[in-house]
Structure formats: C-alpha cells, structure tokens
C-alpha cells in the first residue's frame, strides 16, 4: 500500500510538473510582450532535431529565417527561455562589447556531474573559466604553432605516403574516416607525446575511444544528450556520466599515466599537457588538479579529432567539385614549394594565399559549429526587436542563441550563399565582410581557443595531398551534399567519398 501511494505521488508530481511547463512556456513571452515563436511544448525549438526531421545546420538556418525583419525573437530551449539573435550590431553588443553580461556558455554537464566533460574550458564559467583560459592560451601562440609544425607535418607526410604506397586504397576513400585518423595522430603526438599511425594500426586505442567519444549518431547517445540538456539535475542525481564508461576510463588513465611518467622521469615537452602540469604546480591561488588536466586534454582531443577532420572533408569535397579552383590552389602550392626547394615551412604555409581563401570560404559554407550560445548573467537591456515592440530587459539565466550557419547563408550578407566562391575572401573583398556575421570559430573572449591549430593542421594536410594527388569524385560521391539528420556532428548522408589520383609531376 505504501509503495502504491508513493508511485501515485510520483505520478501526480510528474503531471503537475508537466502542467507547470506547459503554462510557463505558453505565457512566458506573451506576458513580457516580446516577439516570439512557439514550438511544440517540452522539447520546443529542439523538436525537429530530436525527431531527426532536420539536420543541425538546417535547423540553424531555419531559426535564422524566422521573423526575417526582426533583430531577435524569443523562444524556449527545452525549459530555458532563449533569444535568437540575428542582427550584427546586437551580436557585437552581446558577444563582445558587453561580454561581462553574457560571459558563459550554457553548459549542461557540470564538473560535479562529470569531471572530464564538465571541467573543460568550454563548459567552465566565471572566474574559473578565466583562470583556465589564461593557462591554456600559451599553448596556441605563433611560437607554439611553429614548434608543433614539424610534428603535424610529419603526420601529414605519413598519411599521404600511405596512399602513395597503396594506390588501390586511394581510388575510393571515405574521407571522414581517413581524415579522422590523421587528426587522431596529430593530437596524439602534439598534445600527448604519443606516436600513432592510424592508417596502418587501424584499431589503436586512441582512435577507437576517440571515435566513441565523438559519436552522437546512435539513438541511445542522442537520448542521453537530450536528457543531460533538458534535465541536468536529474542526471546529476543519477550519477550517469556523459561519456561511456570505457571511454571515460581510457582518458582518465591516459592522462594520469602520462602526467605520472613525466613527473617521475622529468620529461619536458612544450605541449599542452606540460603547460597544464605547470599550472597544477603553481602556488598563485589557482586550484588545478589532475581532473582539470584530464578535462582540458579531453576537449582539445575532442575538437581536434572531429571538428578539424570535418573541415578537411568539406575542403576536399569542394576542391573535387571545382577542379578549376583545385588547379589554382595546386599552382599556388607548387610555386611556394619551388621557392623552398620542395619543403613546406611554417612561413611558406602562410604565403599560400589562395588556399587561405578556399578554407575561409569552406568555413563560411560549413561552419564547424552551426550554432553557439551565451547565458545572461546580469540583466541587460536590448533595443526593440522591430517596429511596434518595446526594448527588452534580458533576464538572468536567459539563453542567447546565435545561428551561425544561418548567418553564413544569409544572402544579405553573402550573395549567392550556396555557391562556393573563394574570391569573397581575397584582399579586395574580405574587408567588406561584416566581422559579426562571419564567425566560424565563434566570437569574443570565448572564441575557439584552438582555431589557429585547427587551421594549421588542415592547411598542412591539404598541401601534402595536393602536392601528390588530384582530388576527384567517385561513383559513391554525392554533390550537392545532403546533411545527415541522425547526428549533431556536421556530417553528410552517405559519407565523404573521394578518389586520390596521383599527379603526373615530380616535386
């Protein structure tokens, strides 16, 4: 009887909670007289993603398209009030000029819930974020890029040599798998000091667990993601970790053993692990533990493993789709390599200007993160969304959403947005681009800290590939691309299938 009463109380409590959500979501914006958009209740703006009706980039474009003449509008992100901002000046005011009012991301996994995912620089908030960001920043200076250049370049040469030695494998390459193996090797050596060749050793632990950590395509992983996002308190009480237990254990052991070995043997490598170890040893009031080192190392691995490889896929795909653009990039590469006696240097990499233009246009057309956000920490007044509406006081806790993919595909800012036009970023045109609507790595103080490294490893790989090969479409290639609806990762239906045809030159 007691159990039955308990179950009845739980049921009534759940019903009352749902009724509260429905009433709140229905009346919240109306009572504040703000232009808004209503979505199906509970899941709200995430409904199309949850039921796989739209891909993540298509969803960003859809949100940006609503109320086309408005600077912003209100909605709900699950049960959190959210404002979608579309106006460049308002984006500047929120993300840069008044950063102290909007300093944090809406992290759905706290460090108490998951020490690995919750303690990384993306999830941290307030002063803790500032301390960790300042600790990590020295890892990504130009001098550090120069040091890591040779490590990355060696990974790239080994990657390309694999296809030179295995021409049959080069005829039909699933680029996402191949480029992820390359970025896996780069992160292993540049961040962890571990030598891996994932093209030869295809099931090495680094690659296997990295792939598991970045896989959001399964139904179970999707539901888990949504639960963490919608009900963080419930997930915290459950004790469930965001990563699978095996992947969580692997990264903890990897970083812990690496730190222990370096401390015991006095090993010094000017990489991110070393900088984090130095922060751990400092006595300047910043508490930095082994869990902090694990968290930062993991997010560096996560971004390098998946985001960078996806950028490489889209660059290669657009080069295959536009042979005339590819040929011009090759001419630029050949010219620079000839001046350096066939060797690629950090300085010559920066002089391949047309490759820069191609990558910038790829980042416009396929931004690594289709949307980004900030959370209001102090009440802030924003101007009227459009004629007929008053200015609005943003309340503490409100989520601010910037639909990056939507901005990048707005014809007001980028004419013929679906066309691949590298010349948008030549010396004459790039200064005409509004810096608050071209934001492939985010904006303001919380802009992606590793963007310089991601660009460097991408350029190095593309140079080494185009030095030896022409990139071609195969019978499996699909262009124009169709985004995959089954994952939050930026991926396409059917995979990135490409062929590598050896060039008939000696260099």
pLDDT > 90? residue 79: no
Distance CA 372, CA 445 (A): 13
Average confidence (pLDDT) over 56-74: 96
pLDDT > 70? residue 428: yes
| pLDDT at residue 270 in the model | 66
pLDDT > 50? residue 497: yes
| pLDDT at residue 507 in the model | 46
Reported as a pLDDT band with limits 50, 70 and 90, residue 217 is low
Angle at 399 (CA atoms; ends 454, 37), nearest 5 degrees: 115
Q: What are phi and psi of 381, to 5 degrees?
A: -90, 125
pLDDT > 70? residue 229: no
Counting other chains too, the contacts that 144-151 makes at CB distance below 8 Å and 24 or more residues apart are: 144/270, 145/346, 145/452, 145/453, 145/456, 146/346, 147/270, 148/190, 148/271, 148/453, 148/456, 149/345, 149/346, 149/349, 149/456, 149/460, 151/186, 151/189, 151/190
Q: Where in the chain is the domain with CATH 1.10.630.10?
A: 109-365+452-507
Q: pTM (2 decimals)?
A: 0.91
pLDDT > 60? residue 503: yes
Superfamily of domain 109-365+452-507: Cytochrome P450 (1.10.630.10)
| 102 compared with 116, residue with greater pLDDT | 102
Average confidence (pLDDT) over 318-324: 98
- Report the mean per-residue pLDDT for the chain: 88
| pLDDT at residue 142 in the model | 84
């Amino acid at each position: 009887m007691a159990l039955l009463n308990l179950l009845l109380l739980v049921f009534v409590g759940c019903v009352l909670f749902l009724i509260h959500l429905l009433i709140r979501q229905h009346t919240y914006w109306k009572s504040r007289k703000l232009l808004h958009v209503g979505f199906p209740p509970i899941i709200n703006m995430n409904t199309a993603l949850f039921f796989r009706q739209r891909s993540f980039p298509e969803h960003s474009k859809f949100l940006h398209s609503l109320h086309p003449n408005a600077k912003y509008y209100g909605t709900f992100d699950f049960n959190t009030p959210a404002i979608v901002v579309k106006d460049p000046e308002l984006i500047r005011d929120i993300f840069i000029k008044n950063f102290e009012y909007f300093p944090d991301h809406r992290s759905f996994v706290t460090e108490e819930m998951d020490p690995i995912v919750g303690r990384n620089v993306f999830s941290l908030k307030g002063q803790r974020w500032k301390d960790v960001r300042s600790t990590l920043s020295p890892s990504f200076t130009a001098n550090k890029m120069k040091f890591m250049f040779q490590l990355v370049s060696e990974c790239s040469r080994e990657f390309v040599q694999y296809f030179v030695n295995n021409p049959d494998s080069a005829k039909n390459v699933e680029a996402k798998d191949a480029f992820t193996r390359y970025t896996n090797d780069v992160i292993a050596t540049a961040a962890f000091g571990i030598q891996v060749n994932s093209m030869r050793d295809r099931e090495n632990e680094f690659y296997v667990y990295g792939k598991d950590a970045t896989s959001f395509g399964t139904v179970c992983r999707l539901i888990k993601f949504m639960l963490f996002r919608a009900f963080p308190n419930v997930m915290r009480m459950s004790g469930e970790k965001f990563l699978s237990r095996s992947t969580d254990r692997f990264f903890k052991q990897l970083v812990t053993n690496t730190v222990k070995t370096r401390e015991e043997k006095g090993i010094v490598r000017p990489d991110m692990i070393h900088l984090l170890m130095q922060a751990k040893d400092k006595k300047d009031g910043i508490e930095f533990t082994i869990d902090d080192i694990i968290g930062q190392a993991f997010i560096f691995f996560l971004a390098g493993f998946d985001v960078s490889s996806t950028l490489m896929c889209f660059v290669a795909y657009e080069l295959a789709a536009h042979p005339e653009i590819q040929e011009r990039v090759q001419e630029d590469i050949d010219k620079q390599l000839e001046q350096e006696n066939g060797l690629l240097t950090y300085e010559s990499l920066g002089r391949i200007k047309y490759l820069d233009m191609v990558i910038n246009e790829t980042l416009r057309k396929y931004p690594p993160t289709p949307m980004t956000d900030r959370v209001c920490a102090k009440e802030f007044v924003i101007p009227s969304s459009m004629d007929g509406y008053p200015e609005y006081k943003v309340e503490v806790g409100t989520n601010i959403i910037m639909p990056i993919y939507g901005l990048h595909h707005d014809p007001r800012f980028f004419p013929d947005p679906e066309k691949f036009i590298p010349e948008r970023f030549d010396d004459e045109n790039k200064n005409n681009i509004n810096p608050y609507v071209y934001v492939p790595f985010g904006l303001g103080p919380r802009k992606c800290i590793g963007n310089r490294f991601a660009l460097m490893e991408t350029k190095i790989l593309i140079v080494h590939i185009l030095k030896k090969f022409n990139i071609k479409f195969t019978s499996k290639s699909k262009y124009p691309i169709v985004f995959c609806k089954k994952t939050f990762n930026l991926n396409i239906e059917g995979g990135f299938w490409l062929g590598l045809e050896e060039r008939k030159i000696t260099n």
